[in-house]
Structure 1
């Protein structure tokens, strides 16, 4: 197994993951540092083709053909948005000269440095499950010793490449692992990457800075990864792509207004920044049945003795089938929202970026896994029929959730802080009213969330919280509503 260990010498890392730093819309830095960053640094360390001085370049072809590596990186990171600033630039002779007060014949340029990431542990390790020859290993070690930085030049690093025995591999649940159902998109080198880099270099050499074509799309190959702490993003049936902290927190009884205001803000902001919102956000334009829509979730404080059910955050859930580019755009839009104002709602927002408090606003609070899930907000019934296990399983099918082995339902809350609502606080004006209940679901095996069930799940009703594995207790019996 091939291992590359990257030590962040200043304890920070800065890179622009999607090319949005120059627009001023970048809210989150790249984390974990993509394998493509390391690959590009290895290429730059000794060049390619006839520019190689200490290697022959075959080790790069070997590395680009290797499968996507496991990535061991810190889970707790802090994203610091850096202030934009103006710098002076020299005006070319062919351009009309502009003047500044202090610098004659010079113009000003706006520089947006983006976001600096500070991890709790400033070490990243990449593990490729391949056998590497001694010659290739020595060449990679030579290149690694010549790497000065990763990402931007103000992220100095020290890189070490080595061969390790397979038995020393860290358990997969402690690292980012390639997974088609994962929620984190990471750029990795693929066969042909060297050819594209060489072509871009040749074009730049021939035409210089006049080349206007952006090579980023051609040099991007996204692979889905499963986070080492699934609570950071995803679920089996979808993923939370963005979460905002509300200040001050709001009463849980205002869930309808909070989620409606959040949805309106996202749609308006998307239209303003990008264009027409995708169908997953509003539901219009689908030609067939069976599609999933975004869930606009209110995140209450529940599940402990001092819980009061106040809404400390909002989050946007997207279905697993949603395109990565759409998810990235939606994430940027949500992170650009600075305030939510609506009927009974007035709160400033702050991007959730790994803060320990408030815990309710952390997406991981709603992921699990667990065998036992209890509603924080009541679930709205899908039909006017008796509530049976068969009917609950029907709801779960619609929500892409496994079938529970048993359930319990009550009109009142089933855990501390869970919000009990009046009919006027659940039903929308002018829409038909339906019964609603709090539920406790018990599964045979641990299930990973988020779990949101019932006909009001797009509005945040039926949001469930994992409450621990009660496998040693009798299964809950079914009761009336």
Structure 2
């Protein structure tokens, strides 16, 4: 067994779930720990050597580790703090390009410093069942000794290598499980080379590409009930440009698909163009719905990548997304896309909003029935919706309510969606929790028939 022990002497772990988010990351993602080791390998001792690189290449290929963490932690959202921005200001002459504090907005930049307070013993363990060769184990121990922090620079850390997981009273264990509800970032083979490439891009304002050698892995906390695993991994893209309502979700999704296919050309994998019987990408309209001031406008587009994609296909699609900054809209205007949402990420752009595990779900966009019934009554419509869910590979709900209106404030009426086939909003309850996304009916891969956990119907 190979174990990394990480102690936080300050009793706090500083890291955010996403850029600018007030929500702290917990538990620490294995990929973040790997990045800390890479930084230490370059910074400590004589720097990166062939032997250190070999040791890190061995570690990145080991897959998802188990985690042991303190059970008692505080993960409250961080308050908003205002700090000097130190923005880049355009200047003329010899001083052009010098980084200066903004002369007008000096005290108006809001920031968050999310942190996890470790109430119990401030030590976590990442462990793999495999053992590295003895010489590589010693090299990894030397690299670990050079780690100064995990997360932001506030998270002072002491790291060492062990050969077993020491028992800690009241600890929590996270185990890799395809059906687990907890999603953690895990590095994939090629992550070290990818980090090297990112480091070389030192120019300011460079658009950082989405990691291609880093994937989300499902975990389950010991004692948690199992749920059906998600068939998709969501990548959120923020949309900016002409305002689009949910009724235009299909048109916007098809424009994005066309733009991505033009990026990849003939090399586009079958999961993107859909000319195959294998699972292919789905496009979710991420709209402002579910609260009293909801506008119903599309804030972004979520790409559902099938988890069955090969590593090469996944990297191919992510590479295309990294080069995609705008799309041509149906009316010829241009829309802007951003892979990494900026600060204050709306709930609609967070994967947990759509991919959570829940029993109760309701439609944001109506289900266009796959097989319209001959009878026009409520039981027939309920049976048709249940059939659409089954055709999408979902279990049959134990309860179905049909309506022309959504449970989510801001979502349009079902009749507002142009279709020659009957379409309905629905509220459903499964016998057991189902991991999102829940998509059903015709057009479910292009933003129609999209469900959202009902617990979020009044939460924003």
Provide the TM-score with structure 2 as the length reference.
0.60
Distance of 2:60 and 2:253 partners within structure 1: 47
Aligned to 1:68: 65
Aligned to 2:328: 341
Aligned to 1:281: 272
Shift of residue 332 of structure 1?
3.3
Distance of 2:326 and 2:33 partners within structure 1: 32
Aligned to 1:264: 258
Shift of residue 401 of structure 1?
2.0
1:429-468 correspondence runs (5 A)? 433-468=420-455
Distance of 1:443 and 1:362 partners within structure 2: 23
1:287-326 correspondence runs (5 A)? 289=277, 291-326=278-313
1:164-175 correspondence runs (5 A)? 164-172=166-174
Shift of residue 254 of structure 1?
1.8
Distance of 1:264 and 1:8 partners within structure 2: 51
Does structure 1 retain, via aligned residues, the 8 Å contact 2:178–2:229?
no
Distance of 1:459 and 1:64 partners within structure 2: 35
Unaligned runs of at least 5 residues, structure 2: 16-28, 52-56, 79-87, 89-111, 117-121, 190-211, 222-226
| Residue among 384, 394, 398 paired with 2:391 | 398
Distance of 1:224 and 1:357 partners within structure 2: 19
Q: Give the 3-state SS of the residue equivalent to 1:401 in structure 2.
A: coil
Distance of 1:352 and 1:63 partners within structure 2: 24
Aligned to 2:186: 186
1:207-286 correspondence runs (5 A)? 225-226=217-218, 236-248=229-241, 249-271=243-265, 275-284=266-275, 286=276
Distance of 2:213 and 2:185 partners within structure 1: 9
Shift of residue 467 of structure 1?
1.5
Distance of 1:140 and 1:358 partners within structure 2: 43
Does structure 2 retain, via aligned residues, the 8 Å contact 1:235–1:367?
no
Shift of residue 406 of structure 1?
1.1
Q: Spell out, residue by residue over 1:416-473, the C-alpha distance to the aligned partner (whole angstroms, 9 max, x if none).
A: 11222557x434xxxxx32111111111222221111112101110111111299xxx
Task: Note closer, same or farther for the CA distance 1:283–1:184 as it changes in structure 2 (3 Å cut).
Answer: farther
Aligned to 1:413: 406
Shift of residue 269 of structure 1?
1.9
Of the structure 1 ranges 454-463 and 367-376, higher mean CA displacement relative to structure 2 is found in 367-376
Does structure 1 retain, via aligned residues, the 8 Å contact 2:185–2:214?
yes
Q: Calculate the aligned-residue CA RMSD, in Å.
A: 5.2
Shift of residue 185 of structure 1?
6.3
Distance of 1:187 and 1:296 partners within structure 2: 25
Shift of residue 400 of structure 1?
2.5
Shift of residue 223 of structure 1?
8.4
Shift of residue 43 of structure 1?
12
Does structure 2 retain, via aligned residues, the 8 Å contact 1:70–1:178?
no
Shift of residue 167 of structure 1?
3.9
Task: Note closer, same or farther for the CA distance 1:66–1:426 as it changes in structure 2 (3 Å cut).
Answer: closer
Distance of 1:353 and 1:147 partners within structure 2: 32
Aligned to 1:160: 159
Aligned residues: 350
Provide the TM-score with structure 1 as the length reference.
0.58
Q: Give the 3-state SS of the residue equivalent to 1:442 in structure 2.
A: strand
Q: Give the 3-state SS of the residue equivalent to 1:349 in structure 2.
A: strand
Distance of 2:425 and 2:310 partners within structure 1: 33
Task: Note closer, same or farther for the CA distance 1:342–1:71 as it changes in structure 2 (3 Å cut).
Answer: farther
Does structure 2 retain, via aligned residues, the 8 Å contact 1:409–1:437?
yes
Does structure 2 retain, via aligned residues, the 8 Å contact 1:76–1:119?
no
Task: Note closer, same or farther for the CA distance 1:61–1:455 as it changes in structure 2 (3 Å cut).
Answer: closer
Q: Spell out, residue by residue over 1:45-67, the C-alpha distance to the aligned partner (whole angstroms, 9 max, x if none).
A: 899xxx99xxxxxxx99999998
| Residue among 319, 333, 339 paired with 1:351 | 339
Unaligned runs of at least 5 residues, structure 1: 14-29, 53-59, 78-82, 84-117, 190-219, 428-432, 471-481
Distance of 1:399 and 1:124 partners within structure 2: 43
Distance of 2:396 and 2:293 partners within structure 1: 31
Distance of 1:67 and 1:411 partners within structure 2: 44
Aligned to 2:201: none
Shift of residue 158 of structure 1?
4.9
1:368-387 correspondence runs (5 A)? 368-385=356-373, 386=375, 387=380
Task: Note closer, same or farther for the CA distance 1:302–1:281 as it changes in structure 2 (3 Å cut).
Answer: same
Distance of 1:459 and 1:469 partners within structure 2: 22
Shift of residue 351 of structure 1?
2.0
Shift of residue 381 of structure 1?
0.6
Shift of residue 336 of structure 1?
2.9
